[in-house]
Structure 1
Amino acid sequence: MTSSPRWFSRYQDGQRAEVWQEMRQLGSAVRESAWAGEAQLVCDEMARRARHNIEVIVERLSTAGYRFHDNNDEQTAVQPHYPPTAGAPELATWLEERFGAVPMTLLSWVRIVGDVWLVGTHPEWPASAAADPLVIGVEGSRYPDFSLRDYFDEEWTAWQGDPVGTFLLPLAPDRFHKDNVSGGGPYGVVLPDGCVDGLFHAEMTMPFVSYLNWVFGDGGFPWPSGDDRQWAVRRDLNKGLLRL
């Protein structure tokens, strides 16, 4: 690697896959390297691009008559995107203090993107909730009477009492629960992890940014729902979305 990797300018120029690969190869050492600031700039730009994609998808779904709702029988209407609150930077600090190390991409998401909930029903695609719509909840803005921070803390404490495997910070229900049927465990990020980009565990485990690119590549609905109408909806949703 050269003495100056120029990650941020190269990322902006379109060399995104190469930049992520180089940063991931450094592992947690990237935080102590001379290029930690460059890595942070890339992660923040990734988050800004992700927020743009979410805002575009929400606008397109709303225009199409999509009903954003809870994953329950009542299907209570919900707000699909909560931008970060003034407390988001403090939450990012708390996450690192509590879990030891948190991937830089997730910290950028907390500070720049916020919480997203795309579960709902499309008028031209009734099975849309079965297509694993994007959900990422870290700040917990959807739950004013419930503390996600307390929930994370309880999960961490329980895991430390019986530390089998790795700890998963739960960020979303699985694709079955999103469709209001019995399913498995939640999706989330493996912690602790001091790397630039952590592992996101969903139907398969992959880097968080790779997961997001997969989801946005299908307009926010990456899983086949068994409905032939889904391809047309996805085609309209993913037009012009940004690669992260």
Structure 2
Amino acid sequence: MSQDAEDILGGLRASPLFAPDFPKRARCSIAAWALLPEGERRALDQASGEAMERARTAYRPWEEGVRTLGKARYTPAIPLLAQLWRDCALMPVRASAGHALLAMDDPAAYDTLESLIEDREAISIHLGIRAVFRRNPLAAFDQFAPLFTAQDITAVTIGHEALSLFVPSIVLADGTPCWIESEAPSWFKQDPRWLALCAGLCRDERLGDPARMALCHADPGSALPALEAARAKRPPPPPPATRAIGDLVARYRAGDHLGTWREARAFPAIAGDLRAEIAALAGETMLRTARNVALISERLQRAGWQSLGFMRTLPEPADAARIAAIEQMTGARLPPSLDAFWRVVGGVSWVWDCDRGAGPVVADLPLAGIDTDALLIEPCSTIESFCFEVWEEQKDVVHPDLIGPFRLELAPDRLHKMQVSGGPPYAIELPFPGADPLFRQEDHALPFVDYLRDCFAWAGFPHLKHHTDQAAARRFVGILGRGLEPF
């Protein structure tokens, strides 16, 4: 095998992968990536597309050769694999190089993987974390522990992925869980600090998901005492604010749209007279939103637009009972902003139906062929039956702290809107005791009302903000968005 491995190594060295003009991967940290505008992100990703175009019919043997070197644990290949891992823009080959380095079980290979643990690509983070554990699982907690108290995006991203290592990657048909690292359950058990950490993070907004899921698959005899100990240390939630401000609606009608909502959101939890006042504020807001939805829907319809579903779904009398059922399931009132949207606006979908062909050109803009992230908010009538089965399953756990927030999925993500495989749906987490929850998974993670504002600033197609260099896009927003009411 040694000679075969040397031949593979020589073939890779002589391949176009190492030609001076072959596209190189642009490195970027998690923190730097988070600050980049969409256009600069696309520019950094351009090398990957160019590499695939150049090597589309040739890369399979390179990919297989790299895998073979990893399976053979051919350590003389580590420098070449490290170079591919750092610089190769051809993703299938780079991914194979990373896995080959991990398979080497060699300190130099682990060094290479750990050096890119803060890289913005998910596979870099994932393999870097696995290298830390494989090198010394008993020392891994000390290395990762500072991440779980930090608040920056790098710490949260790596911390989330580290905890996810203890979560099964798949569950077989017979119910058997399987971990991507077969030793992960024993690593979790060997160091009891992981158990205590996860118990303490169960209610954490950003790390709660993997913490809860790891505990669900831990030994109940150890997990339950840890959960009770963490609960005993947790301070009780503050009582909701109940005293009305008194002038929110009057100020809103006078034009203070931003200030009134900013003040309403300042309360972590609301009830009583304050909730009633904020509900009235939300009603005023959604009256304007409904008129905007009707106006744009009419203009799109005249232009021949065929949306995926009804452009506007009006509220139904049965919605009140549906809302009550969701509130009973989650144990709390709906946030006023969403409650008012469903009761006043209903639902909206301006996503082009790709089965209808290329679509009309509106204001000289071929809208159906552009990633616009068109506004879509599911009406109440489509939510109830879809979500209840999933939510019921969450309640069948051994401890109440292992029940995560209920995710109310309100829209597909921007790629699914183009009928391309994408990410998780845009959603609101319930219960939410305040006025206006975050619209999660969407790029900006804005409060729901602000998300709607951002959509209408671009005539219902918010990703047109990335096409402002096109005169047709600017003209489209000007024509379709003419006369919209501020809210």
Bin the TM-score by the shorter chain: 0.7 to 0.9
Task: Report if aligned partners of 1:92, 1:111 keep a CA contact under 8 Å in 2.
Answer: no
Q: Does 1:116 align with 2:348?
A: yes
Q: What secondary structure, in the 3-state scheme, does the structure 2 residue paired with 1:19 have?
A: helix
Which AA in structure 2 matches 1:48?
L
Partner of 1:152: 387
Residues 31 and 192 from structure 1, CA distance in 2 versus in 1: closer, same or farther, beyond 3 angstroms? same
Distance in 1, matches of 2:253 and 2:443, equals: 30
- Residue 159 of structure 1 deviates from its aligned partner by 4.4
Task: Report if aligned partners of 2:311, 2:349 keep a CA contact under 8 Å in 1.
Answer: yes
Partner of 2:478: 235
Partner of 2:265: 24
- Residue 152 of structure 1 deviates from its aligned partner by 1.1
Q: Does 1:218 align with 2:458?
A: yes
Partner of 1:144: none
Mapping of 1:197-212 within 5 angstroms? 197-201=436-440, 202-212=442-452
- Residue 243 of structure 1 deviates from its aligned partner by 2.3
Q: Identify which range, 230-239 or 157-166, moves more after superposition.
A: 157-166
Q: What secondary structure, in the 3-state scheme, does the structure 1 residue paired with 2:410 have?
A: strand
Partner of 1:73: none
Residues 35 and 165 from structure 1, CA distance in 2 versus in 1: closer, same or farther, beyond 3 angstroms? closer
Partner of 1:90: 321
Which AA in structure 1 matches 2:388?
D
Distance in 1, matches of 2:371 and 2:361, equals: 14
Q: Does 1:57 align with 2:296?
A: yes
Distance in 2, matches of 1:8 and 1:184, equals: 37
Which AA in structure 2 matches 1:108?
A
Deviations along 1:94-119, one digit per CA (max 9) or x if unpaired, are: 22111123211111111111111111
Which AA in structure 2 matches 1:235?
G
Deviations along 1:122-173, one digit per CA (max 9) or x if unpaired, are: 4233244620111001324xxxxxx631211123234456858643210111
Partner of 2:106: none
Deviations along 1:70-91, one digit per CA (max 9) or x if unpaired, are: 3xxxxxxx42111011101112
Residues 164 and 31 from structure 1, CA distance in 2 versus in 1: closer, same or farther, beyond 3 angstroms? closer
Partner of 2:249: 8
Distance in 1, matches of 2:342 and 2:263, equals: 23
Q: Does 1:106 align with 2:338?
A: yes
Which stretches in structure 2 are left out of the alignment for 5+ residues?
Answer: 1-242, 353-358
Which stretches in structure 1 are left out of the alignment for 5+ residues?
Answer: 71-77, 141-146
Residues 105 and 133 from structure 1, CA distance in 2 versus in 1: closer, same or farther, beyond 3 angstroms? same
Partner of 2:419: 180
Distance in 1, matches of 2:262 and 2:435, equals: 10
Q: Which structure shows the bigger proportion of residues in strand conformation?
A: 1
Which AA in structure 1 matches 2:484?
L
Task: Report if aligned partners of 2:244, 2:277 keep a CA contact under 8 Å in 1.
Answer: no
Query: What do you get for the CA RMSD once the two structures are aligned?
Result: 2.3
- Residue 3 of structure 1 deviates from its aligned partner by 7.4
Q: What secondary structure, in the 3-state scheme, does the structure 1 residue paired with 2:422 have?
A: coil
Match of 1:39 among 278, 301, 306: 278
Identity of aligned residues (%): 30
Which AA in structure 2 matches 1:156?
W
Mapping of 1:116-135 within 5 angstroms? 116-120=348-352, 121-124=359-362, 125-128=365-368, 130-135=371-376
Partner of 1:81: 312
How many residue pairs align between the two structures? Answer: 227
Distance in 1, matches of 2:385 and 2:321, equals: 15
Distance in 2, matches of 1:59 and 1:199, equals: 29
- Residue 93 of structure 1 deviates from its aligned partner by 1.6
Q: What secondary structure, in the 3-state scheme, does the structure 2 residue paired with 1:206 have?
A: coil
Q: What secondary structure, in the 3-state scheme, does the structure 1 residue paired with 2:446 have?
A: strand
Which AA in structure 2 matches 1:217?
A
Distance in 1, matches of 2:412 and 2:376, equals: 8
Task: Report if aligned partners of 1:117, 1:134 keep a CA contact under 8 Å in 2.
Answer: yes
